[in-house]
Amino acid sequence: MLDAAGELETDRGLTAVPGLYALGLPFLRHRASAFIHGIGRDAQDLAPLIAAGLRRGIPLAA
């Protein structure tokens, strides 16, 4: 889903679409989220949530 400004709506990297996650957006989870050195921290936070979804049978969205 997109907000009024056309930006992807997320809740700390989680979207309303099952299996669709976001990285690299400004202030996604941390102040450095939009920078290459900050994406790793966000990915570490999202990885357990992605793994849990896969265990529940939620496929990753393309």
How confident is the model over 28-58, as pLDDT tens digits? Answer: 998 899 998 989 999 999 999 999 999 999 9
Q: Could you give the percent of the chain with pLDDT greater than 70?
A: 100
Task: Note the Cα 43 to chain centre separation in Å.
Answer: 8
Band of residue 1 on the pLDDT scale cut at 50, 70, 90: confident
- Those residues whose C-beta lies under 8 Å from the C-beta of residue 45, and which sit 6 or more positions away, are 12, 13, 29
